[in-house]
Structure 1
């Protein structure tokens, strides 16, 4: 069901319970509004939760591609208020949104069921319960060993899954088995947990026992410092040689901390061809002034006495940031943002509005998606600074950046940020600071003489 709203407040009845919120942004020039890369800094709240603060879509988006941010939250009562607030720190700032989706989720898909002890909190010696007072931000959803799965290829929830190639840091060489003939038996978990395609592809260490003993199959994911994270690992033993408990037993580490010493998917799931997932919570503590750190997932074979095959397997994974005191926001004005999902689809441009709250209310039976295709702009009315004709010394206008700052700004020279390729090298577009001047960063080819 698709609804279009151009009014200040749009009431749609909602039932209480967990909701999935997807926000669509398409940063471009709209009507007479200022360049969004300089002025569109704003915050977004969902009832008591702050989802975004001092957010600028242009700093995170790939040019000409819609940007999507995804969250989970519980709704109590009959109303969900989404509030968009322009940043008070930017003159003439404004907020915008192109589309909003709200989906009713199964009660126990991520949140801890009543009476359940929760999930292991790695290295804390306790169990972590994900209650109704927590919100989640989707950081990564990965089809390990498989291809990118678009939202329309997902089962039930219309989530997008990326491939794992860009996050794989240690794999020598690793193997990508596929079994398209298997029909996964969803007897241990619900069928909407992940699409079938996630469970018929995987990545393993390979069959070289000697080599497998000496390395860990490792993925690394940049995340914000100072938050707890919910990690879901998806498994399905589909290789014909794995038939019984003890055939493939391995170790799992998160952020270099032991999560499992004897992971046996056949024992966990109940047999071959049966999908299963295992959940964990892990803390990424603040470390100096580092805004981002890596959340690593590493697999290593168990000792030979415990396993027939010295190997490990992973089919898929999900990583969510967990709110701190109703707050999901990381450091303000981050230059990079891994927690986004890009889709190539048209975005509807709608009329200009000057409201600060979008209210969503609706009875939802099963899975009903309400998409609000909007373009709501919130203009901040304040006096502009008078032109200052005072000469500025060159030392004040010629900024210097360290190699580390440049690599951070370009996400280690991510190809998604390339705007031009020339004979001498590639040009990356980024921003020098919050809402200020865009900068071109040119990386010279090896051997280039200047």
Structure 2
């Protein structure tokens, strides 16, 4: 009897659980238009949905200018096989389609206005009459542009587009072919979305704040929807027929991650999340039941992040939805981790336990990433250890959605509004500006024509570009060129790639050929010979642009050769910036650009070789002998001189924006030179206080005021240099997640000890006993002022330089006192003819201040 009651109770609980799940996941859309275009009958899919033919759906199709389109004439029925990428459940939708030779419209009656899914299916079925891969057209939804100049060039791949649009009482989808072309579509969905699916607000990534009007003022397009750590999920596995993709193609650190999963019954949904009901309508239990977790977090060094990288369209803001469910912890409040979006902190020390109150409980967060913070057409999402003293060193991610937001033209695919008007950067300019622009254009045209005459009149000697004369080694100091004609930014199309479309001698050469002075033009053969055909053994550095090789020329000259990686989407803008900056600069403490090579679609820059490498390698992390305190002072002074020249010595001030010990290189005499100008920016003009720009730089060195306000000034470099000073003094990394929380940031840790008056406790032991107290005091004082919270409270680089030079003078003066004292003691011993102690003398009574030299040093003052 007891067993029967026990089984009955289990059955009862199971029925309750099923009912609860159904009640939380059930959704009946008020509007549910599913159309199999061009089909003469209904099409039922294995996921349970039925797509109707256009004949079964009354009053859906109309056309402009009374052009009547016959379903028989404009539809194509084919038995062509769909590609393997098409899910079998959706296969019937891709055997028919409708073709439009004129602008045509589907009009839908909306019974419940609000957010609706709009899903469009395109597959160019082979046909004798229409070459569907040649079709070019646009698609709009009411006053939003969904597609502009759209084509499906690949006849083997399904194109699926999913949008979220705010639909009113009458909703229209318009297909508009380009002139002398046509449009087509295989299937259409217009379906009501749950009210709770997209809130009207989200957190802004940077600057921090709340982004409002999300669902009411924007159309959205789903770019990526990932089931992180789990398999692909088709519409039949989702509560509202969404498709979820596995994250494997976007996981950038597979070696450091592992997939984990639990039973679907383990996943729980809380009753509310910040006022929004979190149910399977937000994401199905399949998504929360799997995750990517840091691999072996106990035994591996946790100083890494799990990283997912996505290619997106530049010029748009994006809604990023992150799904979490703690399916890995054994107890509450043991998992803490950070979340980053495009290397900016989105969630610090995320503790799912405190937010959900239970393990294995669904949770999500929405963020808006502004278009200004999307660089190189890339979005990167990362999770990593928060590294608290208590808690497990681990991080997870269960699901991820990246959704494009419409721009100011109310478009998701261009800069034209529905009525064909341009609305993009520079639109809306007044009549006076237009007149000025026209006048400027005429003036530029006249100058170009004059330049062509001059060039034709004074031809360059044949083979000038390969000569090794003095003039061929000069760089353009004031080229005055337009960046639009030189190293143009890459568009989303590979056709405009510097590597993909450029022929030999068409990129750099065309630029330098029009300049007054020239860097040396290296042949590809010369650089191949210098690097043993770019042998991996010659690699001395690696970056987002590619690799840096040590090259040895025939005459024994050593060069650093930076070779662009044609498969990299990073570094193109940085390359251009570096050339623009270095072509105008010459200084003893700046790394010099020697020349370039532009053959066979290569993009290679050549620099002077710095034999002793980056400063960081001489401070920690290598087997190199430690630098003396005097050497560190001289290196810091050299770097400060280089930065001071950048800020004040150039024609227009330059902000480096990435000052760190890896960008301070040392030559064979340990002379410091500032390198890597890929992130540099021209300083603001006299009438401005700052440059407004997206935050870039390196964590640990980044100016907090710049990070908060996105306002760049020379004082941002000053802050970074203050971190460098403490790095040189303490010889440790600027960010070390393995340390206790209060020690993770070198800047904070050093400032805390300085406030206690015990900075000597964290000095590099190799030099601690050799530093003069006054020299140390002046050095730390300079570093402390650099790290002031607000830029206006920080010194200029000129002031920092003066303080460092003063610190060096104090150190040298102290060293001279010690040497002179030693010499005096030796002299007294010789004069007295033996041991001082034998003569009754104590060396503590010997004074060196009577010396004329040290009487001056005793009263040494700074200016």
- Give the TM-score band, short-chain normalised: 0.5 to 0.7
2:117 aligned to which of 11, 15, 20:
20
* Mapped pair 1:269 → 2:366: no
Deviation at 1:125, TM superposition (A): 2.4
C-alpha contact (below 8 Å) 1:182/1:238 kept by paired residues: no
Quote the Cα distance in structure 1 between the aligned partners of 2:501 and 2:115.
39
Whether the aligned pair in 1 keeps the contact of 2:220 and 2:406 (CA below 8 Å) is yes
Q: How many residues align?
A: 322
Among 165, 183, 188, which residue is 1:73 paired with?
A: 165
Alignment of 1:165-184 (within 5 A): 165-180=248-263, 182-184=265-267
Aligned with 2:140 (options 19, 29, 45): 45
Which structure would you say has the larger RCO, counting Cα contacts within 8 Å and 6 or more residues apart? Answer: 1
Tell me how far apart the structure 2 counterparts of residues 269 and 401 of structure 1 sit (CA, whole Å). Answer: 47
Q: C-alpha displacement at 1:48, in angstroms?
A: 0.8
Measure how far apart 1:108 and its partner are: 2.6
Q: Secondary structure at the match of 1:37?
A: helix
1:197-212 matches, within 5 Å, as: 197-209=286-298, 211-212=300-301
CA distance 1:312–1:123, change in 2 (3 Å): same
Deviation at 1:269, TM superposition (A): 2.1
Asked if 1:2 corresponds to 2:51, the answer is yes
Q: Give the alignment's TM-score, normalised by structure 2.
A: 0.35
Q: Is 2:336 the partner of 1:249?
A: yes
Equivalences for 1:162-311 in 2 at 5 Å? 162-180=245-263, 182-187=265-270, 188=272, 189-209=278-298, 211-239=300-328, 241-245=329-333, 247-285=334-372, 293-305=377-389, 307-311=390-394
Alpha-carbon deviations, 1:222-243, whole Å to 9, x = none? 000111100001111123x432
Contact 2:256-2:306 at 8 Å conserved across structures: no
Question: Following the alignment from structure 2 to structure 1, what is the Cα–Cα distance between the partners of residues 414 and 392?
Answer: 42
CA shift for structure 1 position 327: 1.0
Q: Secondary structure at the match of 1:100?
A: strand
Q: Indicate the RMSD between aligned Cα atoms, in angstroms.
A: 2.6
1:322 aligns with 2:410: no
Q: 2:205 aligns with which of 111, 122, 133?
A: 122
Q: Deviations over 1:410-433 (max 9, x none)?
A: x969xxxxxxxxxxxxxxxxxxxx
Instruction: Give the drift of 1:402.
Output: 5.5
Structure with the largest fraction of helix? 2
Structure 2 equivalent of residue 82 of structure 1? 173
Distance, in Å, in 1 between the alignment partners of 2:205 and 2:113 is 31
Long gaps (5+) in structure 1: 113-117, 333-398, 414-450
Contact 1:242 1:248 survives alignment (8 Å) = no
Aligned to 1:358: none
Decide whether the 8 Å contact of 1:252 with 1:260 is kept in 2.
Answer: yes
Query: What's the counterpart of residue 159 of structure 1?
Result: 242
Aligned to 1:191, what secondary structure does the other structure show?
A: coil
Rounded to whole Å, the distance in 1 between the matches of 2:176 and 2:373 is 27
Shift of 1:191: 1.7
1:212 and 1:32 map into 2 onto residues whose CA distance is 62
Partner of 1:354 in structure 2? none
Cα 1:96–1:146, aligned 2, differ >3 Å: closer, same or farther? Answer: same
Distance across 2 between alignment mates of 1:252 and 1:191 = 23
Distance 1:281 1:96 in 2: 33
Cα distance per residue 1:82-119 (max 9 Å; x no partner): 1111124xxx211111110011011231131xxxxx22
**TM-score normalised to structure 1 length:** 0.66
Do 2:303 and 2:385's aligned partners in 1 also have CA atoms closer than 8 Å? no
Deviations along 1:158-190, one digit per CA (max 9) or x if unpaired, are 111111111011244212111126432112411
Check whether the contact 1:111–1:132 (CA below 8 A) recurs between aligned residues.
Answer: no
In structure 2, the CA distance between the partners of 1:95 and 1:181, relative to structure 1 (3 Å rule), is: closer
1: CA distance between counterparts of 2:326 and 2:237? Answer: 22
Whether contact under 8 Å (2:339, 2:347) holds in the other structure is: yes
- Change beyond 3 A, Cα 1:196–1:181: closer
Q: Distance in 2 between matches of 1:133 and 1:308?
A: 42
> Measured at CA, do residues 403 and 108 of structure 1 come closer, stay the same or move farther in structure 2, by a change above 3 Å?
same
Answer with 1 or 2: which has the greater Rg: 2
| Structure-to-structure mapping, 1:411-426, within 5 angstroms | none
Q: Is the 8 A contact 1:151 1:158 kept in 2?
A: yes
SS at 2:146 equivalent = strand
Give the CA deviation at 1:404. Answer: 4.5
Whole-angstrom distance in 1 between the partners of 2:230 and 2:496:
42
CA contact (8 A) 2:288 2:362 kept: yes
Q: Give distance in 2, aligned partners of 1:225 and 1:330.
A: 10
Structure (1/2) with the larger strand percentage? 1
* Residues 27-70 of structure 1: per-residue CA shift (max 9 Å, x gap): 1334522x2323x1111100010011001122xx5x43432100
Assess, with a 3 A threshold, how the Cα gap between structure 1 residues 330 and 253 changes in structure 2: closer, same or farther. Answer: farther
How far apart, in 2, do the equivalents of 1:122 and 1:13 lie? 38
CA contact (8 A) 1:121 1:280 kept: yes
Equivalent pair of 1:206/1:212 in contact (CA under 8 Å): no
Distance 1:135 1:255 in 2: 23
Query: Aligned partners of 2:188 and 2:129: how far apart in 1?
Result: 23
SS at match of 1:132: helix
SS at match of 1:268: helix
State whether residues 225 and 330 of structure 1, in contact with CA within 8 Å, keep that contact through their aligned partners in structure 2: no
Task: Kindly report which structure 2 residues correspond to 1:431-442, keeping only aligned pairs within 5 A, or say none.
Answer: none
Kept after mapping to 1: 8 A contact 2:107/2:171: no
Unaligned runs of 5+ in 2: 1-49, 63-105, 273-277, 417-494, 503-565, 569-863
